[in-house]
Amino acid sequence: MKNVLFIASEAVPFIKTGGLADVVGSLPKYFNKEEYDVRVMIPKYISIPWEYREKMIYKTHFYIDLAWRSQYVGVFELEYNGVIFYFIDNEFYFSGSKPYSWIHEDIEKFAFFSKAALSAIPVLGFRPDIIHCHDWQTGLIPVYLKERFSEGEFYRGIKSVMTIHNLKFQGIWNLKKVKDITGLPDYFFTPDKLEAFDDANYLKGGIVYADRVTTVSSTYAEEIKTPFYGEHLDGLMNARANCLSGIVNGIDYDLYNPETDNMIFAKYNQVTFRKEKWKNKVGLQKQLGLTEDKNKFMIGIVSRLTDQKGFDLIAYVMDQICCDDVQLVVLGTGEEKYENMFRHFDWKYNDRVSANIYYSDELSHKIYAACDAFLMPSLFEPCGLSQLMSLRYGTVPIVRETGGLKDTVEPYNEYESTGTGFSFSNYNAHEMLGIINYAKSVYYNNKREWNKIVDRAMKKDFSWSNSARKYEDLYKYM
């Protein structure tokens, strides 16, 4: 039996700001329970809903030194969906309304969390063989594990895995201040360790000191070895290439299931979609005030509206996308210029563009079920979850070939009748427009082929159990 402890800054259902929380909260329950005992540790934020906080069981408390003060560490426990979650309590650090604030505060907060998490392990009655760290917030854990926690008998032999969910976020701050906060000796702040471009870099420390480094798709694992995607760490990623691998994230197939989803207008599956899926489109057209027409080609976008997601490409050819025979439904918030752009086109083409500049879980499910195609032209995408959801709902993804999008969407080949979506490779607005028009022509002129694409898309398995098997293989040889 191998014991694994996930340590991260967020996990569903307790606290979520992005895809990281889905991975940390959902993945552990899919491991083979006979071979792996996987538990999770996150901060006990005051913003965790009361329904969970009131059920937490107090385990113990103690004090640790951080910078120049002594800090309280409380440890709580809660079992959820058969997985044991531990919570590190400290009101000074975790009482904000959101899990993250200004970077200088977060740098100290997660130095505290890393140290507290490692210090708490001996009192849990659970000794992990592997500590699995997620993103820069836990980057110091592999460092501390090799530094002050290496002497004790208890910690000897504990291995660490560092998973990069998005290399863009690294936890970078002033070298001198980080030295003070972390209490690490000068020896750790050299260019081959935590120092990078005269600053201290938490994620870099984690990558240097972890036994294995993973990221959330195999293409992204290759991409981050290049200057364009490497965010100034491409040299390090190449140096650690022998320990680096990519494992695609999954989605919860119970939660995202068109056959049982109560949020959508009409339930369907891979066999009945031809007869039932269109009812979702007409229901959504009615709800959003679009022209009601079950045959109209409908494209969906559910996303943060940022440059990373390729919205500069969409902005460039928006008039050409919104022609008579297309409807476009957008859901999300983000950069003001994109929010306003979609509002403008909603005003300009009111019968065929619907801009919903907010976030709603229910509306996102309706969009996944109603649309014919789903657009994701990302500049970079470590894994991406929206394309997995759209495949699950038989909504054909149109993506740029990068990161997880390239690994999960197989481009349609009309000569061999294969593929689960449409893709383009260069980051170019007209190349994207060309592929949208190609998808549209298949939809209107060859409905039988289109339905076969939908059929293949819905047969794909990107559930968490698939990812869990791959992590098990990784752990097995550590």
- Please tell me the predicted confidence (pLDDT) of residue 139: 98
pLDDT reported for residue 150 = 79
By percentage, how much of the chain surpasses pLDDT 70?
Answer: 100
Distance in angstroms (rounded) separating the CA atoms of residues 133 and 119 = 15
Q: What pLDDT, on a 0 to 100 scale, did the predictor assign at position 17?
A: 87
For position 153, what pLDDT does the model report?
A: 85
With residue 374 as reference, give the H or E element that holds it.
Answer: strand 373-376
- The secondary structure of residue 183, as a DSSP letter, is -
Task: Judge whether 40 and 28 are in contact, CB under 8 Å.
Answer: yes
CB 130 within 8 A of CB 160: yes
Is the separation of the CB atoms in 135 and 8 below 8 Å? yes
CATH architecture of 2-250+465-476: 3-Layer(aba) Sandwich (3.40)
Burial class (CB in 10 A: 0-12, 13-18, 19+), 365: buried
The 3-state DSSP class for residue 418 equals: strand
DSSP state of 65: E
Distance of CA 86 to the CA centre of its chain: 21
As given in the structure block, the two tokens for residue 286 are 């009615």
Q: For position 231, what pLDDT does the model report?
A: 96
- Do the first three CATH levels of 2-250+465-476 and 273-461 match, i.e. the same topology? yes
Element (H, E) at 237: helix 234-239
With CA atoms as reference, report the closest residue to 187 among 156, 148, 234. Answer: 148
Condensed to tens digits (0 to 9), the pLDDT of residues 101-155 reads: 999 999 999 999 999 999 999 999 999 999 999 999 999 999 999 988 877 789 9
Enumerate the β-bridge partners of residue 17. Answer: none
Ranges of beta strands (E only) in 303-360 are 326-331, 353-356
The pLDDT of residue 97 is 87
Distant-in-sequence, close-in-space partners of 190: CB < 8 Å, separation ≥ 6:
none
Looking at residue 136, its pLDDT comes to: 98
Domain boundaries, given as residue ranges, for the chain: 2-250+465-476, 273-461
> Which CATH architecture group holds 273-461?
3-Layer(aba) Sandwich (3.40)
CB hemisphere CA count around 187 (13 angstroms): 4
Query: Do β-strands 172-174 and 244-246 pair in parallel, antiparallel, or remain unpaired?
Result: unpaired
Largest CA distance in the chain: 71
CA pair distance 260, 275, nearest whole angstrom: 16
Residues in contact with 307: Cβ distance below 8 Å, sequence separation at least 6, in sequence order: 335, 379
In this prediction, residue 96 carries a pLDDT of: 86
Tens-binned pLDDT, residue by residue, of the chain (478 aa):
999 999 999 999 999 988 899 899 999 999 999 999 999 999 999 999 999 999 999 999 999 998 778 999 999 999 999 999 999 999 999 998 899 999 999 999 999 999 999 999 999 999 999 999 999 999 999 999 998 887 778 999 999 999 999 999 999 999 999 999 999 999 999 999 999 999 999 999 999 999 999 999 999 999 999 999 999 999 999 999 999 999 999 998 988 999 999 999 999 999 999 999 999 999 999 999 999 999 999 999 999 999 999 999 999 999 999 988 999 999 999 999 999 999 999 999 999 999 999 989 999 999 999 999 999 999 999 999 999 999 999 999 999 999 999 999 999 999 999 999 999 999 999 999 999 999 999 999 999 999 999 999 999 999 999 999 999 999 999 9
80 CB burial (10 A radius; 0-12, 13-18, 19+): middle
Query: What is the structure's pLDDT at 142?
Result: 97
Radius of gyration of the chain (CA): 23
- Stated as kind and residue range, the H or E segment containing 397 is strand 396-400
- Residue 343: φ, ψ to 5°: -60, -40
How many Cα neighbours within 13 Å face the side chain of 60? 11
- Separation between Cα atoms, residue 177 and residue 469, nearest integer Å: 41
Q: DSSP code of 175?
A: H
